[in-house]
Structure 1
């Protein structure tokens, strides 16, 4: 198996949940919304799993905004990259992976301006070899083609295998498996017990000793992947231009 690691972006490499909470606090304060508005925004957002056009349709209707749905969504996409954070240790770990001979890319669903803004403003563009953004390509996870696009941008062939790492059991784990990749369900930005940070599924049993067989997340955090069936994990709502 080639040393290829395809990482999800939101709530895998960057803390999208905290960035959204900060955006929601600003949104409520700027408009002097009632006390229950913040909790409503966070609940309705469903951690980015619902379509943004639907979300902002609900927001404009509930709060009687003068801005159109498209304008509210545009303002959100402009602000979110300014609020998102990528921990320094994540960037350092990605650089370490590359130093150890891994090729690293980001595979993410979402609008290009929002997702590319996050990648560049956090400095992740300096820590990976390539990225594939659904808004640029018109292809979305879990489709095999977006994993192929990221691999091709790295100058590699998906038939050589690799790892897909992300926080979604459906988009990242099932999508990666369907693309022929070993996979790791890895949700460090979701505040779980340490034992729940890395749960992997893979088409073939990986070597667990020596540098050749270590999965990318194990290299980053020293955690051992544990095989599970992704179908037993909770499924998020269908993702359509969310994030």
Structure 2
């Protein structure tokens, strides 16, 4: 049974939409201009920026008295409250499982937050297991986290595919581990000359179809 190693944010679960929804509501609450959402999205860097740095930048820009700790928690809870598992994603995972593939999530993130996200959305019912970088002590693109995921479910890494939207973390990590990959382009062009995805797709459903057909 080959492994299907899957990224979490903006691969299995949409993060960009829920973050924007939280940001627009938060900015309205603090009396900021609507156009400031572009600044906030830039600071967030599609979820790659450190949460504490984002919180500090928000506090400084708007002169807020809320602590960075409370703001980080509000950001996390606000995004999670708007996060839903797309039924089509659940269907694609079920199809992969029925076709003999074992879906496993590999996410760079904080254990408490990522674990809660996986369980509260019901994603845990459609994957065999998950590995979170904070718990593992290593993160993508380190090839060891892919080997750890295989060890976690007691399956060989050979024959696995990696699916994700991160050029460095997912595709670069797959290349480091010697694995084929599907990059979810989300409207972006590939620009990294160090490595390249084996396939590209516009979403998880297309990515699963690509892996099954390979």
Deviates more, 1:163-172 or 1:70-79: 70-79
Equivalence for 1:150: 149
SS in structure 2 at match of 1:76: helix
Tell me the distance in 2 between the aligned counterparts of 1:92 and 1:224: 14
Instruction: Give unmatched runs, 5+ long, in structure 2.
Output: 190-195
SS in structure 1 at match of 2:12: coil
Contact 1:184 1:225 in 2 (8 A): no
Structure 1 residue 178 displacement after superposition: 0.9
SS in structure 1 at match of 2:18: helix
Number of equivalenced pairs: 204
Instruction: Give unmatched runs, 5+ long, in structure 1.
Output: 194-198, 203-215, 227-243
Tell me the distance in 2 between the aligned counterparts of 1:25 and 1:40: 11
**TM-score of the superposed pair, with normalisation by structure 2:** 0.84
Alignment partner of 1:175 out of 167, 170, 173: 173
Equivalence for 2:51: 52
SS in structure 2 at match of 1:106: strand
Instruction: State the Cα deviation string for residues 136-191 of structure 1 (Å, max 9, x = none).
Output: 22211111122122212222132x2311111111110110121122111124xx25
**TM-score of the superposed pair, with normalisation by structure 1:** 0.75
1:63-78 pair list within 5 angstroms: 63-78=62-77
Instruction: State the Cα deviation string for residues 81-139 of structure 1 (Å, max 9, x = none).
Output: 22123311111110111111111101111122222222122211000001011122221
* Aligned residues: CA RMSD: 2.6
